[in-house]
Structure formats: C-alpha cells, structure tokens
C-alpha cells in the first residue's frame, strides 16, 4: 500500500506567488527525503535532499533560495517554490530515503505557473 502521501496533486498558480508541496511518510520515519523534478517528456532529476533537523543539500544548478525545503519532522518534508515563474512548471515528486526496501515515491505534484 501507499506509504508516501504527497499533496497537492495538481496546482495552478500565478506567476510571482509561492506554492508549498507536502510529502508525508505514512508508516515509517524518514530521516531523509529526496525531491525530484520532471519537466515534460524528460526524466526525473534529483533537486535536493532534505535531512530531518538540518539543512537540505541541493544539486548543482538548483537555487536553494527559490526552492525552500523544510524537514521539521520524521514524517513531513515540504518543498516551497517561491516566486514561481512559468519555467518552474513541472512535475515534482518526493521519495523518503533510508529504507532498505523498494524506493517509495509520492504521487507527484503537477505545478503549472501562469
């Protein structure tokens, strides 16, 4: 069954506004959360890794001030896209780390900035 809940599944926002995406680990404590981004017809690329209680690690080319990650508890990590622009329109998906089984993914959030 689903062990990761990501919300919202779809969001449309105006350019310049901020959007928060939540990722909840339902049945285990996730000390690490991976955030991926997928542009249309492209693969999933790791954006950042959040760690509970400490700063997130961002991949090269990802602006940490634009994509704010908070991992305040072992069951919740959030990604906030600040001052969103049309080029941020993408599919964002989270995945809790630290489990020695299949890698679980959230349902994904399709962000459209207009």
Site for another protein in 16-35 (CB under 8 A): 32, 34
Rounded least distance, CB 103 to another protein, Å: 4
Residue in 12, 26, 72, 103 binding another protein, rule: CB under 8 A: 103
b (16+ CB within 10 A) / e for 65-104: eebbbebeebbbbbbebeebeeebbbbbbbbbeeeeeeeb
Rounded least distance, CB 104 to another protein, Å: 8
Is residue 46 within the footprint of another protein (CB under 8 A)? yes
């Amino acid at each position: 069954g689903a062990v990761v809940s990501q919300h919202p599944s779809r969001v449309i926002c105006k350019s310049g506004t901020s959007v928060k995406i939540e990722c909840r680990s339902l049945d285990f404590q996730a000390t690490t959360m991976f955030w991926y981004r997928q542009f249309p017809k492209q693969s999933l690329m790791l954006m950042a890794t959040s760690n509970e209680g400490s700063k997130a690690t961002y991949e090269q080319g990802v602006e940490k001030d634009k994509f704010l990650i908070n991992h305040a508890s072992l069951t919740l990590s959030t990604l906030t896209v600040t001052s969103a622009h049309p080029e941020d329109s993408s599919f964002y998906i989270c995945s809790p780390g630290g489990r020695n089984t299949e890698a679980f993914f959230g349902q994904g959030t399709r962000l459209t900035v207009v």
